[in-house]
Chains A and B, each alone.
Chain A
Amino acid sequence: MIKFPFGNRGKGVILDNTHISIMTERKGRSDAQGSVINDFSIQVATVNGSGSQSANSVLMRSIFQMGVPVTGKNLFPSNIAGLPTWFTIRANKNGYIARKAEIDFAVTVNPQTAREDALSVVKGGALLAEASLGLKGLRSDITYYEAPFLSLAAQVSAEVRLRKLLSNMIYVGAMAELLGIEPAEVEKAIRTQFASKLKAAEINIKAAQMGFDYARANLPKRDPFRIERMDKTRGMIIVDGNTAAALGAIFGGCTVAAWYPITPSTSLVEQMIAYMKQYRMDPKTGKPTFAIVQAEDELAAVGMVIGAGWAGARAMTSTSGPGISLMSEFVGLSYFAEVPAVIWDVQRIGPSTGLPTRTSQGDILSAYVLSHGDTKHIMLIPATVEECFRFAQEAFNLAERFQTTVFCMSDLDLGMNNWMSNAFQYPDDIPIERGKVLSEEDLERLGGFSRYLDVDGDGIPYRTLPGTRHPAAGYFARGSGHDEHAEYSERPEDYVSLMDRLARKIDGARSFVPAPVIDNGAGAKIGIIAYGTTHHAIGECRDQLLAENDLATDYLRIRGLPFNLEIGSFLAQHDRVYVVEQNRDGQMRSLLSLDFPKQATKLRSVLHYNGIPVDARYVTNAILMQEKETD
């Protein structure tokens, strides 16, 4: 049986722990004529591996080109082909880009899920279905359209396999006509999508035109949803977080990357390889200024990163939860021997294999203290693709400054989905900084050095790189106990002094990790804390709380660990602080409680952990319910 992962199936849904049912009626506002303009969601139900991803991207991009803020999320199974997959698009004139729980307009071409797809549409919504699915008459409370996509595709191409792919572009054409998207924008989006394949572009344009014409002749407009041209996306780009992180690594001067394929991080290094081949070839020698190795497993991947970082490369790997577990021992080595490393964790649902294609913020706690013994790691948490680009660069600077592992905690939603964003600015404000590295000349001047001696009082010692031509350059890095001169030591005082210095060093990173983004404007009693992609539901949630319940809130978004001390001030300033996160156990809340114990009783959790990106309404309801209990 196919498990239906989201949508409301026409009934109220009981939220975990909150006992609040979500109403299924449309929340969007209609204008006087009953039209709903630039504020609705579309869900397309197709079969995994059928080529629908390209078609759905074109539909999303067409809306983007109409100047309307839009997001797209691919909800897909861990499967190569054959299982159901859904793509949700949200157009929103106000720029709300979190997933919308309600489905306003559904498209279905998948017999496996057609009935449930039809039932998932909200009352007053619309459905466009493949005619042969026989859904006519199932719902009287929505607008129903049908079209024979597959047989229309036969008119575009005689080739059976191609026909299946093209049938996707036919529903795109039909949707464009129904929603009022200009055909020229669809054509432009197709040409962008198939930029390197002119022939594919031409035949897809033909297919879209076929859908457009069919809808115009056979599907008179009866639903309220319309896309109207706006000017809110000019100069913006559409990109996924993994590509943005890859670009950041490339502009951040990454020279060695080692990786092992794992969903949802795979495309990060694959994009690096693609862009590096174009933009990181030395013009003088024609040779690459990078080395990328597909390792035999995650243990080897991070081992290579640590070897390369020790030898002076800017080295990184990219993985997800299971890989993080495997990297645990080596990350402890990086912490203890003080070797720079950057690890991207594109989080998916755990524990164990979990739900490999579903999003989560479930690695925060374990990654922060990864490995046995006392450890603590610097962590950057991007919420947007722009931050993926910037943090990828800052991570290298921090790793080299603090000579330790820096985690970049992305997630599947951010990494694999397409997001609109301002175009990335050239990183003039993020110069490549290599940290405390002593050269041959420095050693000549100093006469020698002690690798683990805290010379500057910031806990950060000086290092030399292998290959430095000086008799005093060499030192012995090790994961076993050592003294300030890098000699083996089991002396209790050496161990304590080393561990205390490491604690001091990492503590010093509080003011170097990206500062929290704080909106204190409301001067409210209630604060909200979120991080990563959860952020996208919060703006909309706060608007809902204010508009619908007259409840003002302040907001702080965490962007890095160890915590900036402003976070403590924010906690102190509020009576109650809701920590919203996408895991079961309130991992960030636990870390906040540990770091700010005096404020711990103020913290409350809003948790969303079913693998589907959190939506604003969920958070709003969960906060309201807990507020009600407070009264």
Chain B
Amino acid sequence: MSTVQEPQKPKANTNRVGLLMQDYKGKESTLCAGCGHDAITSQIIRSFFLYGVEPHRVIKLSGIGCSSKTPAYFLDRAHGFNAVHGRMPAVGTGAVLANRTLIAIGVSGDGDTASIGTGQFVHMLRRNIPMIYIMENNGVYGLTKGQFSATADPGSTLKSGVVNDLPPIDCCALAIELGCGYVARSFAGDPKQLVALLEGALAHCGTAFLDVISPCVTFNNHEGSTKSYKYAKETEELLHEVSFIPFYEPITVDYDEGVTKVIELHDGSHITLRKLERDFDPRNKLQSLHVILESTERREFLTGLLYVDPKKPDFTELLNLPEEPLARLAPEEVRPSRAALQEIMESLH
């Protein structure tokens, strides 16, 4: 359901919570000039501003690697935690259990997610932890100067000429397989699509996984790379045109169902998918997997919302957690009574 919320008298350039875009910024990036990660950071700032997220409710999480540095570069007012390599999902899980009102965004890389962190990634998906999880995917380890990661395509080459001969892990297919309710693939060079997908992720309940191709300008942007700007631009195949309508705005346009799919998300926002080449319904898991595998075979770089299930309960719901954050319960709410201890002691006599 779309709901209309009367905005308070906004100041110029402010969003629905009265903040400016600059209130969503972070420290200056220390990544290489032209890094895809910085482009993604910009879209995170933009989408959180547009959606009107309250920064103090956000937790930014990451593991280790170039991508994992980026949470310092957005939402300075939020709490951040740069944890250990590949194990950010566990930290995020603990944090949202402690306080389910937090909005968690995790930024990871392909090394952090698809190699050292595969175990935690898989179990985060399985539990449907409420978290936006972005894998900034460049196919290489940047901080250690350009070794292949587990998402590198077979046949792609390093600058040194070394050829990758192992198959990639397709983290989107893996996420769908494991029941993730929001799976998208995008490109750091496609800001419009990325912002819409990020806003959709904010509106989703449960894990929202975004695999974003993010070229490494220093180690993997050459001829022979399949994660370069050039290669991505040339092979990108849009699955559909993605737009986002937040819950606080009415749907004003009548959509032709044959052309545009309108999907209501958990918080009442809508995501609209305008048909391009093919008929595709991201609510059909088998179709999603089919399309992904097919595009891989054709060596196409397929982007868009690959799968969505807005109804799946997240982990905090499964655990039946109270609205009040566990972290904020008063001592008398977490220490049983004298009578309770007495009863237990009597049972042990």
Chain A residues with CB under 8 Å of chain B are 195, 235-239, 247, 250-256, 258, 275, 279-280, 282, 285, 287-291, 293, 295-297, 299-315, 329-330, 333, 337, 423-424, 426-427, 431-432, 464-471, 473-480, 487-488
Query: Can you list 12 A-B pairs with a CB-CB distance of less than 8 A?
Result: A253-B331, A289-B322, A289-B326, A295-B90, A300-B123, A304-B97, A306-B94, A307-B91, A311-B99, A312-B327, A478-B81, A479-B82
B270 to chain A, nearest CB (A): 28
- Identify which of A195, A301, A310, A475 gathers the most chain B CB atoms within 10 Å of its CB: A310
Contact for A280 among B319, B334, B345, B349, CB less than 8 A: B334
A183 to chain B, nearest CB (A): 19
Q: Does B328 contact A (CB under 8 A)?
A: yes
Residue of A nearest to B79 (CB): A466
Query: When chains A and B are docked, how far (Å) is the Cα of A473 from the Cα of B79?
Result: 8
Q: Is the CB of A333 within 8 A of B83?
A: yes
Query: When chains A and B are docked, how far (Å) is the Cα of A27 from the Cα of B323?
Result: 63
Contact for B97 among A236, A308, A466, CB less than 8 A: A308
List the 9 closest A-B pairs by CB distance, nearest first: A303-B90, A307-B94, A312-B327, A313-B98, A308-B94, A307-B91, A253-B334, A304-B94, A311-B98
Q: Which residues of chain B come closer than 8 Å to A467, judged between CB atoms? A: 56-57, 79, 99, 101-102, 325, 327
Contact for B90 among A304, A337, A432, CB less than 8 A: A304
Q: Which residues of chain B come closer than 8 Å to A299, judged between CB atoms? A: 87, 90, 119-120
Given A287-B321, A296-B119, A313-B327, the answer on whether A256 and B82 have CB atoms closer than 8 Å is: no
Q: Is the CB of A313 within 8 A of B87?
A: no
Query: When chains A and B are docked, how far (Å) is the Cα of A195 from the Cα of B348?
Result: 11
B212 to chain A, nearest CB (A): 22
Q: Is the CB of B94 within 8 A of A311?
A: yes
Residue of B nearest to A250 (CB): B336
Contact for B56 among A256, A258, A469, A480, CB less than 8 A: A469
Contact for B84 among A282, A288, A479, CB less than 8 A: A479
Q: Is the CB of A426 within 8 A of B320?
A: no
Q: Is the CB of B345 within 8 A of A424?
A: yes
Given A195-B347, A287-B322, A432-B335, the answer on whether A300 and B87 have CB atoms closer than 8 Å is: yes
Given A237-B348, A303-B90, the answer on whether A474 and B97 have CB atoms closer than 8 Å is: no
Given A250-B336, A296-B123, the answer on whether A255 and B98 have CB atoms closer than 8 Å is: yes
Query: When chains A and B are docked, how far (Å) is the Cα of A431 from the Cα of B330?
Result: 12
Q: Is the CB of B340 within 8 A of A279?
A: yes
Q: Is the CB of A475 within 8 A of B80?
A: yes
Query: When chains A and B are docked, how far (Å) is the Cα of A330 from the Cα of B71?
Result: 20
Given A288-B321, A305-B94, A312-B328, the answer on whether A471 and B345 have CB atoms closer than 8 Å is: no
Q: Which residues of chain B come closer than 8 Å to A254, judged between CB atoms? A: 334
Q: Which residues of chain A come closer than 8 Å to B232, judged between CB atoms? A: none
Q: Is the CB of A289 within 8 A of B79?
A: no
Given A311-B59, A312-B99, the answer on whether A279 and B336 have CB atoms closer than 8 Å is: yes
Given A251-B341, A291-B326, A306-B94, 11 other A-B residues pairs in contact with their CB atoms under 8 A:
A289-B333, A300-B123, A303-B87, A304-B94, A464-B79, A465-B79, A467-B57, A467-B79, A467-B102, A469-B56, A477-B80
- Identify which of A195, A300, A314 gathers the most chain B CB atoms within 10 Å of its CB: A300
Q: Does B93 contact A (CB under 8 A)?
A: yes
Q: Does B338 contact A (CB under 8 A)?
A: yes
Q: Which residues of chain A come closer than 8 Å to B336, judged between CB atoms? A: 250-251, 279-280
Q: How many chain B residues have a CB neighbour from A under 8 Å?
A: 62
Q: Which residues of chain B come closer than 8 Å to A478, judged between CB atoms? A: 80-82
Interface string of B151-167 (1 = CB under 8 A from A): 00000000000000000
Q: Does B33 contact A (CB under 8 A)?
A: no
Query: When chains A and B are docked, how far (Å) is the Cα of A467 from the Cα of B56?
Result: 5
Residue of A nearest to B69 (CB): A488
Residue of B nearest to A434 (CB): B331
Q: Does B262 contact A (CB under 8 A)?
A: no
Interface string of B296-339 (1 = CB under 8 A from A): 00000000000000000000100111110111110101111010
Q: Is the CB of B56 within 8 A of A468?
A: yes
Query: When chains A and B are docked, how far (Å) is the Cα of A333 from the Cα of B27?
Result: 23
Residue of B nearest to A339 (CB): B81
Q: Is the CB of B79 within 8 A of A424?
A: no
Q: Does B178 contact A (CB under 8 A)?
A: no
Residue of A nearest to B26 (CB): A476
Contact for A426 among B96, B327, B338, CB less than 8 A: B338
Q: Which residues of chain A come closer than 8 Å to B96, judged between CB atoms? A: 311
Query: When chains A and B are docked, how far (Å) is the Cα of A295 from the Cα of B120?
Result: 9
Query: When chains A and B are docked, how far (Å) is the Cα of A479 from the Cα of B63?
Result: 10
B287 to chain A, nearest CB (A): 30
Q: Is the CB of B77 within 8 A of A307?
A: no
Q: Does B78 contact A (CB under 8 A)?
A: yes
- Identify which of A427, A470, A474 gathers the most chain B CB atoms within 10 Å of its CB: A474
Residue of B nearest to A488 (CB): B72
Residue of A nearest to B127 (CB): A293
Q: Does B215 contact A (CB under 8 A)?
A: no
Q: Which residues of chain A come closer than 8 Å to B316, judged between CB atoms? A: 291
A443 to chain B, nearest CB (A): 11
Q: Does B55 contact A (CB under 8 A)?
A: yes
Residue of B nearest to A427 (CB): B335
Q: Does B170 contact A (CB under 8 A)?
A: no
B119 to chain A, nearest CB (A): 6
Query: When chains A and B are docked, how far (Å) is the Cα of A251 from the Cα of B333?
Result: 10
Q: Which residues of chain A come closer than 8 Å to B56, judged between CB atoms? A: 467-471, 473-474
A323 to chain B, nearest CB (A): 14
Q: Does B76 contact A (CB under 8 A)?
A: yes
Q: Which residues of chain A come closer than 8 Å to B75, judged between CB atoms? A: 474
Residue of B nearest to A239 (CB): B348
Contact for B91 among A247, A252, A310, CB less than 8 A: A310
Query: When chains A and B are docked, how far (Å) is the Cα of A468 from the Cα of B56?
Result: 6
Q: Does B344 contact A (CB under 8 A)?
A: yes
Q: Is the CB of B93 within 8 A of A289?
A: no
Residue of B nearest to A432 (CB): B331
Residue of B nearest to A247 (CB): B344
Query: When chains A and B are docked, how far (Å) is the Cα of A302 from the Cα of B84?
Result: 12
Q: Which residues of chain A come closer than 8 Å to B321, judged between CB atoms? A: 287-288, 291
B322 to chain A, nearest CB (A): 4
Residue of A nearest to B126 (CB): A296
Q: Does B92 contact A (CB under 8 A)?
A: yes
Query: When chains A and B are docked, how far (Å) is the Cα of A305 from the Cα of B345?
Result: 29
- Identify which of B61, B127, B328 gathers the most chain A CB atoms within 10 Å of its CB: B328
List CB contacts (< 8 Å) of B80-131 with chain A: 80-84, 87, 89-99, 101-102, 119-120, 122-123, 127
Contact for A466 among B59, B82, B93, CB less than 8 A: B59
Q: Which residues of chain A come closer than 8 Å to B54, judged between CB atoms? A: 469
Q: Is the CB of B57 within 8 A of A423?
A: no
Q: Which residues of chain A come closer than 8 Å to B335, judged between CB atoms? A: 251-253, 427, 432
Q: Is the CB of A237 within 8 A of B345?
A: yes
Given A250-B336, A289-B329, A300-B90, the answer on whether A256 and B77 have CB atoms closer than 8 Å is: no
A491 to chain B, nearest CB (A): 15
List CB contacts (< 8 Å) of B229-288 with chain A: none
Contact for A431 among B84, B95, B331, CB less than 8 A: B331
Q: Which residues of chain B come closer than 8 Å to A238, judged between CB atoms? A: 348-349
Q: Is the CB of A290 within 8 A of B326?
A: yes
Q: Is the CB of B326 within 8 A of A255?
A: yes
Query: When chains A and B are docked, how far (Å) is the Cα of A329 from the Cα of B117?
Result: 14
Q: Which residues of chain B come closer than 8 Å to A291, judged between CB atoms? A: 97, 316, 319, 321, 326
Q: Is the CB of A476 within 8 A of B334?
A: no
List CB contacts (< 8 Å) of B45-67 with chain A: 54-57, 59, 61
Contact for A309 among B71, B79, B94, B122, CB less than 8 A: B94
- Identify which of B75, B98, B322, B341 gathers the most chain A CB atoms within 10 Å of its CB: B98
Query: When chains A and B are docked, how far (Å) is the Cα of A295 from the Cα of B57?
Result: 26
Q: Which residues of chain A come closer than 8 Å to B122, judged between CB atoms? A: 296
Q: Is the CB of A314 within 8 A of B334?
A: yes
Q: Is the CB of A313 within 8 A of B320?
A: no
Q: Which residues of chain B come closer than 8 Å to A285, judged between CB atoms? A: 322-323
A251 to chain B, nearest CB (A): 6
Query: When chains A and B are docked, how far (Å) is the Cα of A308 from the Cα of B321?
Result: 14
Q: Is the CB of B334 within 8 A of A474?
A: no
